[in-house]
Amino acid sequence: MSGTELARAYWSDVVRPVLDRKLPDLPRAAARLGSGSDVLGLDDDTSRDHDWGLRLTLLVPADRVRETDDVLAAALPASYQGFPTAFPVTWDPTVRHRVEVAAPVEFVRSRTGLDVGGDLAVTDWLSLTGQAVLEVTAGPVFEDGPGELTALRERLAWYPHDVWLHVLAAEWTRVGQELPFVGRTGQRGDDLGSRLLAARLVTGLMRLGFLLERRWPPYPKWAGTLFGRLPVASSAGGPLAEALAAGTWQERDAALRAVCEALHARQRSVGLPALDGPVCEGFYDRPFTGLRDVVGVLRAAVADPEVRALPHRGGVEQWVDDVGTLTDAGARDRLTRASRG
């Protein structure tokens, strides 16, 4: 049984009957959201050694959070299907039930740092990480009587169009900055440096694939798994693997060129601004791959003057890779605002 299957059964068999009996008038939404591989549908037997078990998200009006939590603490059984209802987790050693009770807007704020019920500014969108959004939008919803959770999830479905173009342009910019160096380092005999650059580029190109498919990227542990499920993976996945496994810089360069062309073709096929012809070209007179001005094509299509004025960096997770920073919504917001100058 997967974690989300267990959560659904726990809700239906235990938690919902308690609420129906004790708090019959309570407006509520129930889901399995937040952290955990099971929220992404990717848990297995290995996942069960920590933070896995009878976990639910229960969203209620703000003035009824404490009451609801107290009722559950008093009424839940000690176990269900052989699993304890109260247990510690890595961020809280207290042995207590793991039905997370919160108000809808506050729950979303705890993951994204944003008041998604209000208007979101450009800076707000750029402060998001894919994982933060997925902790709100990826897991199954079992009940949403008021409809507020559904509305909040829909609000976070994807970037506004011009912001989408901006983050795409930013990722192509990053690719173009380092793509020729894979060959240059290899030509100078620095095979390790060439491999390092190829790995960095593979990370960015995979992120570009998620962006093209309008899919929020997860944190790195699951990026490869979920990338493999994207439509573009059928054309880009093979050369991505070849770029990492290549024994020579020439093979590495050729594989990365193939990835870029596959992604650019996908960009064109989904109706986004794209170049006529290939996206790659030679890098000056050198035998290395460079990019044509796909960035300029994307930026030229941005209509919003605020987005047009942004620096090239894109979203915060495109230029910050420190885990502690990316999991701190306040730090992400401060960095995003500071990056605008």
Beta bridge partners of 219: none
Rounded to the nearest 5 degrees, what angle is found at the Cα of 224, between the Cα atoms of 8 and 322?
95
Task: Count the neighbouring beta carbons within 10 Å of the beta carbon of residue 117.
Answer: 14
Task: Kindly report the number of other CB atoms within 10 A of residue 81's CB atom.
Answer: 11
- Three-class SS state of 115: coil
Identify the pLDDT of residue 54. 97
pLDDT score of 118: 86
Q: Which residues contact 264 (CB under 8 A, 6 or more apart)?
A: 274, 275, 278, 279, 294
Q: Which residues of the chain have pLDDT under 70?
A: 341
Q: pTM for this one?
A: 0.95
Query: Within a 10 A sphere around the Cβ of 86, how many other Cβ atoms?
Result: 16
Cβ contacts of 10-14, under 8 Å, gap ≥ 24: 10/54, 10/56, 10/80, 10/81, 11/56, 11/142, 11/143, 12/142, 13/80, 14/76, 14/77, 14/80, 14/85
pLDDT computed for residue 297 by the predictor: 98
DSSP letter assigned to residue 121? P
The model's pLDDT over 226-249, given as tens digits with 9 standing for 90+, comes to: 999 999 999 999 999 999 999 999
Helix/strand/coil (H/E/C) assignment for every residue in 199-246: HHHHHHHHHHHHHHCCCCCCCHHHHHHHHCCCCCHHHHHHHHHHHHHC
Which amino acid makes up residue 279?
V
Residue whose structure tokens are 């990492």: 244
d(CA 250, CA 97): 56
DSSP 318: G
- Separation between Cα atoms, residue 139 and residue 34, nearest integer Å: 8
Q: Determine the straight-line distance between the first and last CA of the chain, rounded to whole angstroms.
A: 50
Q: What is the DSSP letter of 160?
A: -
Structure confidence by residue, pLDDT tens digits, 43-95: 999 999 999 999 999 999 999 999 999 999 999 999 999 999 999 999 999 99
What are the boundaries of each domain within the chain?
3-155, 161-310
